[in-house]
Chains A and B, each alone.
Chain A
Amino acid sequence: MFRWPTHPQESALFTAATTQLLAASGEGGGFQPPSISDFFPPPILFAGTPFEFNRIQLVRLLVTAVVVTVFVVGARRAKLVPGRGQNILELVLDFVRVNIAEEILGTEKAKKYVSLLTTIFVAILALNLAGVVPGLNIAGTSVIGLPIVLAAWVFVMYLGAGIRAHGLGGFLRTSLFPPGVPPYMYVLLTPIEFLTVFVIRPATLAIRLVANMISGHLMLVLVISATEFFLVEAGPALKAYGLVTFGAALALTLFEAFIAALQAYIFVVLAAVYLNLSIQEEH
């Protein structure tokens, strides 16, 4: 999430860096720094309609096609004795089912929500990984729309699960009036709980994911375009820096792949936790 720099020096440093970046981006050639406009590319199709189709959507379309093809074909070809490809897919499915769903919700309750968690996990993982795939170079989750849709799906599911488990009144009572608290504390607690359940949980799910992907993309583009600048355009004295930034690009690519998996995992774990909070019995 965004944190405003509060320390004066830190703030100054940040401002200086940003100004330089912004200034550099203003020039035509030379160093091409990453900018927030990377996430809002010009439309390719349907410009001016609500169906504006830009590069981000193209990346998402490709990832969706790959994920759907791999998993549907994989499921169709799935055999009793798995081959190598099936083993990898089953590894992913088992990971979500055993290490996330059953771990958090318990074996019995997990059955109902394994499909939801698996779908979301695979979708986020694949869209995140697009950020380190050469040619795509941007995560499908790095623009807020898709994280919002996924978070909204989880939001609706955990509200529905809670209402189904306790009834509408029961769900509101258990979520907004946590038991075991002196009644006058509800003046303080109930608004907080309301915010938590109805705003903060879905909002943080979406924002955490999109912020991680945005920052990852900015870092990667920074080191990659710096490498290009140092090696191609900068004077001979600066070319050595290119090696440094190239090494950093390699390391950051691996790091971003890790972050892609980690963010998918965090999103799904939190979704499972929220579901569990909704359906668990009153204590």
Chain B
Amino acid sequence: MIATVLTGTVLAADGEGSVLVPAVSELIWSVVFVAIIGFAFYRYALPGFQKVLDERTARIEGGIEKAETVQAEADAALARYTKELNEARAEAARIREEARVEGNAIVADLRAKAQEEANRILETGLRQIEAERQQVMVTLRADVGVLATQLASKIVGESLDDEVRQSRVVDRFLDELEASTAVSTKGK
């Protein structure tokens, strides 16, 4: 009994519809509704949402890209500043070193010049002294002869009148004087 009831409803029951076999109108309306939903979705709804979705993706990707660019720029700036700082430090060290070397050179230079000046002054002094000594010796040699002759004439008196004797006495005196001068010069 159940079998006939169910078979009747499952396959084509008269008057009533069948559970598994659609009536023509049922099929037509089903196609219409599915077509309406499909058309609305394919033509309007899904592209609309897809557009927003794509836009959102693009926006997020753009944001990430921008952040990456900014990050890269910041990194580059940091690297540049670090490099410049190191260069400045090296430059400062170099300048300090140069100044130290230059200062040393200046001091050494001045010291050498002062030494030279001192030497020069000393030499001048010595030369002057020597010159004066020569002059004194020349003067002395000229004066000593006259003085000695005068002194000897005073001591010897008239005895030295004749030419020969006078000349002999003077020569002997000069020899003696020269010898004594040599001795005294040597002794000095």
Q: Give A residues with C-beta under 8 Å from B.
A: 2, 4-5, 11, 14-15, 18-19, 22, 36-37, 39-40, 43, 46, 49-53, 56-57, 60-61, 64, 67-68, 71-72, 74-76, 78-80, 82, 89-90, 93, 114-115, 118-119, 122-123, 140, 143-146, 148-150, 153, 207, 210, 214
Please give me the 5 A-B residue pairs with the lowest Cβ-Cβ distance, nearest first: A75-B48, A145-B26, A145-B30, A40-B17, A71-B45
B3 touches A4 (CB 8 A): yes
Partner of A37, one of B16, B25, B27, B44: B16
Q: Which of B16, B19, B25, B40 contacts A214, CB < 8 Å?
A: B19
Chain B residues in 8 Å Cβ range of A15: 1-2
Name A's interface SS.
Answer: helix
| Chain B minimum-CB-distance residue to A41 | B17
User: Which residues of B come within 8 Å of A, CB atoms?
Assistant: 1-3, 5-6, 9-10, 16-31, 33-34, 36-38, 40-42, 44-49, 51-53, 55-56, 59
A144 contacts B48, CB within 8 Å?
no
**Contact, CB under 8 Å: B30 / A148:** yes
**A119-B33 in contact (CB<8A):** no
A158 CB to closest chain B CB (Å) equals: 16
Given contacts A36-B9, A50-B25, A51-B25, contact A71 B33 (CB under 8 A): no
B46 and A119 contacting across the interface, CB-CB below 8 Å: yes
- Chain B residues, Cβ within 8 Å of A119: 37-38, 41-42, 46
A115 to B10, alpha carbons, bound, how many Å?
33
- Partner among B1, B5, B19, B40 whose Cβ is within 8 Å of the Cβ of A144: B19
How many residue pairs link A and B with beta carbons under 8 A? The number is 134
A90 neighbours in B (Cβ, 8 Å): 49, 53
Classify the secondary structure of B's interface with A: helix
Question: With A18-B5, A79-B52 as given contacts, are A149 and B30 in contact (CB-CB < 8 Å)?
Answer: yes
B1, B17, B49: the one within 8 Å of A143 (CB): B17
Given contacts A75-B49, A119-B46, 17 further A-B contacts (CB under 8 A): A2-B6, A36-B19, A40-B16, A40-B17, A46-B25, A50-B24, A51-B25, A51-B28, A53-B25, A72-B40, A75-B44, A78-B52, A90-B49, A114-B46, A144-B26, A145-B27, A148-B27
Partner of B26, one of A14, A82, A143, A153: A143
Q: For the complex formed, measure the closest distance between the CB of B41 and the CB atoms of chain A, giving whole angstroms.
A: 4
> How far apart are B24's CB and chain A's nearest CB, in angstroms?
5
B30, A210: Cβ atoms closer than 8 Å: no
In the complex, which residues of chain A have a beta carbon less than 8 angstroms from the beta carbon of B53? 90
Q: How far is the CA of A114 from the CA of B47 in the complex (A)?
A: 11
The reply to whether A123 and B34 contact each other, CB–CB distance below 8 Å, is: yes
Given contacts A15-B2, A22-B5, A115-B46, contact A57 B29 (CB under 8 A): yes
A43 to B29, CA, bound (A): 13
